Copies of this chain bind each other. A is one copy, B any other.
């Protein structure tokens, strides 16, 4: 039926029309690749963000991605910085300690709520704009609290390390069957510790295992803040 018009307009092969009528392969760009990667990660977790899977999503071959991305690690780092853009800025008004805790908790939540992201953040040092913004925010809050600059400079690393490690720990615990077993194993081992060979551990088993994740994380932050406030850096580092 449409043979006639096809012969008319589509004579020189179908290429020109399919260029306009299909949503078609958008040209590859780094931004497009990262966006597609974030999409896969949100839907299926970072573990599914592989070069091959991503290439498939973008309707190309894995080799093509290497024009825009050095390797899988760099791709994961780019995803991380992208998601770091959603960390809430410090709310005004509250006590600086509370605001600091809120920013760190928001950071932890972002890592926690994307499967696999926290584990990757432990290893991939990010250096994107969103990460720098976060560092600036933390330094500003510590400064507001009167923390000496040298201590603040070293302290932000400790705070982020604690947040990241905690998110990773709980993310695996909640979502990975094997990790749940690990934790059950530890908890059984601690409770089963003999008072003969492990007197303090046996005595403190309940306390060691107690506490909601939120309560422990919050205590961790407050503990770090107190420590940072009270622990001077070595003399030869304190230049200011």
Q: Which residues of A contact B (CB under 8 A)?
A: 70-71, 73-74, 77, 119, 122-128, 131-133, 135-136, 139-140, 143, 149-150, 152-158, 161-162, 164-166, 168-169, 172, 178-179, 182-183, 185-186, 188-190, 193, 197-201, 203-204, 206-208, 210-211, 215-216, 219-220, 222-228, 230-231, 233-234, 237, 239-240
- Considering residues A188, A203, A220, which has the most beta carbons from chain B within 10 angstroms of its beta carbon? A220
Instruction: Report yes or no: B237 in contact with A215, Cβ–Cβ below 8 A.
Output: yes
Instruction: Report yes or no: A201 in contact with B122, Cβ–Cβ below 8 A.
Output: no
* Residues of chain B with a CB closer than 8 A to A128's CB: 189
Give 14 A-B pairs besides A73-B178, A158-B224, A210-B237 with Cβ atoms closer than 8 angstroms: A70-B178, A123-B172, A125-B169, A127-B190, A131-B189, A132-B189, A135-B190, A135-B198, A135-B208, A152-B204, A153-B210, A158-B220, A164-B165, A219-B234
List 18 interface pairs A-B (beta carbons < 8 Å), by A numbering: A70-B178, A123-B168, A125-B186, A127-B189, A132-B189, A132-B198, A139-B200, A153-B210, A154-B207, A154-B220, A162-B162, A165-B165, A206-B239, A210-B237, A211-B237, A215-B234, A219-B231, A223-B227
> Which of B74, B133, B204, B222 is close to A149, meaning CB atoms less than 8 Å apart?
B204
* Residues of chain B with a CB closer than 8 A to A133's CB: 198
- Cα(A188)–Cα(B208), bound, Å: 41
Query: What is the minimal beta-carbon distance from A145 to any residue of chain B, in angstroms?
Result: 13
Instruction: Report yes or no: B135 in contact with A201, Cβ–Cβ below 8 A.
Output: yes
Instruction: Report yes or no: A154 in contact with B224, Cβ–Cβ below 8 A.
Output: no
Query: What is the minimal beta-carbon distance from A196 to any residue of chain B, in angstroms?
Result: 11
In chain B, what residue has the closest Cβ to A231? B223
In chain B, what residue has the closest Cβ to A139? B200
In chain B, what residue has the closest Cβ to A155? B223
Instruction: Report yes or no: B158 in contact with A162, Cβ–Cβ below 8 A.
Output: yes
Instruction: Report yes or no: A198 in contact with B237, Cβ–Cβ below 8 A.
Output: no
* Residues of chain B with a CB closer than 8 A to A199's CB: 136
Query: What is the minimal beta-carbon distance from A115 to any residue of chain B, in angstroms?
Result: 13
* Residues of chain B with a CB closer than 8 A to A208's CB: 135, 153-154, 156-157
> Which of B123, B136, B204, B225 is close to A198, meaning CB atoms less than 8 Å apart?
B136
Query: What is the minimal beta-carbon distance from A213 to any residue of chain B, in angstroms?
Result: 11
